[in-house]
Amino acid sequence: MSYVGPDFDPPQPRRPRRGPVTVAVAALVPGALLGWLVYEAVGGSGDGGGAGNTAVRTSAASTTSAPPRTSPGDGSDAKEPSASPAPSRTPSASAPAASGPLKGKVVVIDPGHNPGNFQHAAEINRTVDIGTNRKECDTTGTSTDSGYTEAEFTLDVAHRLRTLLRQQGATVRLTQDGDRPYGPCVDERARIGNQAGADAVVSIHADGSAAGNRGFHVILPGSVHAGAADTRPIVASSRALGERVAGTFVRVTGSAPSNYVGGGTGLVTRKDLGGLNLSTVPKVFIECGNMRDSKDAALLTSGAWRQKAAQGISEGIVSFLRG
């Protein structure tokens, strides 16, 4: 998730072309190590493990027009239908769920950013209350060097994840489906999950850190009690959700936990994100990889890998909801 502004870092310059250790954590570590071994076997960890600080950046000047929407660089995408916006609805609603082990469960998927944010600088730069302070409504997100945007990535993975969860019987809602001109703001994203009475919420992102910083990480809400924010009732359940998602993401994708945040666990706790601070239901963010690193970008732009990412997230949610 390129955290620009409220919950995200500013995008990098574009090229002209375009608590106590729990048993659950202990169980996660072997899985993470296994994922790391697979990761090393298929390409290694990149150029060193210098810790970056790009996960928290100040807001950058917004672009007035959207960047060119380039197709992903993986040839396997050639026959895949494009992820076109659904008809207008707010929030994006789910079709009736199928019968399955998650029947009766509600999952909200929060695709980070919005493809239209580039054209609405004034709207997304206005600040909203996140409990601890005020931050920008939303941000543009980051992109790969070839111009594949984070907003495109998050919607694609969200669509794949929605299909998988519906097959398990869950009722699935998206906070946005490319069906609104910009946003929603981070406070509204939290409110959509809360009002849905979601059993689990996952916000999907890709990071915009420095080249050489690789791997995924899951962001958990810290204990916040300030203003409109009170995460104390959801800290434990959100951690349980995050641990399940991290563990299955390693196994299914073969990706390693981040080499620049999280100390190799794939888990990071933060108190500065409005989407987490204002949530009253179990919620986590997942940074699926670093768009600014060429090796991670090769994965993020692959349709086959994005399907694995969706599968890994789905299996973690299913595991959490089934206990």
Active site residues: 287
Instruction: Provide the Cα torsion 94, 307, 235, 114; round to 10°.
Output: -60
What's the distance, Cα to Cα, between the start and end of the chain in Å? 28
> How many C-beta atoms surround the C-beta of residue 213 within 10 A?
27
Phi, then psi, of 149 in degrees rounded to 5: -85, 155
Strand partners, 257: 216
What DSSP letter does each residue of 66-125 carry, written as one string? Answer: PPP-PPPS-GGGTTSPP-PPPSP-SSBPPPPPPSSTTTT-EEEEEE-S-GGGGG-HHHHH
| Amino acid symbol at 247 | G
Task: Round to whole Å and give the CA distance between 194 and 185.
Answer: 14
DSSP calls for 115-171: GGGGG-HHHHHSEEE-SSSEEES-----B-TT--BHHHHHHHHHHHHHHHHHHTT-E
Residues 20-55, buried b or exposed e (16+ Cβ, 10 A)?
eeeeebeebeebbeebbeebeeeeebbeeeeebebb
**CA 317 to CA 323: how far, in whole Å?**
10
**314 within 8 A of 168, measured Cβ to Cβ:** yes
| Tokens 């998206």 -> residue | 174
Rounded Cα distance, 308 and 294, in Å:
19
C-alpha to C-alpha distance for 257 and 246, rounded to whole angstroms: 8
Whether residue 142 contacts residue 2, with contact meaning beta carbons closer than 8 Å, is answered with yes
